[in-house]
Amino acid sequence: MRSKILHIQTLLDHKACDSQVDKFRQLFGDSVVVTEAKAKKYAQEFDWYWAACHLLSLSARAEYDKVTAHAGAEYNRVRAHAWAEYDKVTASARAEYNRVTARAWAEYDKVTAPALAEYEKVTAHAWAEYDKVTAPVWAEYVKVTAPALAEYNKVTAPAFVKAYIND
């Protein structure tokens, strides 16, 4: 298999997010020789879908999409179920939060700056309750989707490397 070097400047040129650029710099410095072994090792560290969308040619992207389609579908299936559960559990907290904050926003619009202080006062308890209800459900969502995301990343990382090297 051929090798190819990925430079941090390429990420910057394609407007990669700061956290991904920082992670790249932390792990590799200014550049890295792209290998399947490194992709597998760092599969959970990088957003391979972003990389595929921004760093691959159309033909390489098509191959990447073909190779990762099944893993992506499975990850989306697990996410959809977990998200539906999250929505179901948090719906009443969200509705109560919206009910409480609607009045505060109306007052804010009417009075502007003084209303902001009132809004924060009125909604603090609703936010705290919302956070209390949603935090464990979000943790469960992350827990439920983590294995699927890990599998998805295991497939997408080497698929990206193969497409990138051969591009």
Per-residue pLDDT of the chain (167 residues; tens, 9 = 90+): 677 999 999 999 999 999 999 999 999 999 999 999 999 999 999 999 999 999 999 999 999 999 999 999 999 999 999 999 999 999 999 999 999 899 888 877 877 777 788 888 889 999 999 999 999 999 999 999 999 999 999 999 999 888 888 88
Residue 1: per-residue pLDDT: 63
- Gap between the Cα atoms of 92 and 43, Å rounded: 37
What's the predicted TM-score (pTM) here? 0.59
- Classify residue 45 by its DSSP letter: T
Looking only at the bridges linking them, the beta strands covering 4-7 and 31-34 are: antiparallel
Sign of CA dihedral 31, 34, 35, 38: positive
Residue 87: per-residue pLDDT: 94
Total domains present in the chain: 1
Residues 6+ apart with CB under 8 A from 57: 167
- Gap between the Cα atoms of 35 and 58, Å rounded: 21
The distance in angstroms from the start CA to the end CA of the chain is: 12
Q: Which domain holds residue 127?
A: 4-166
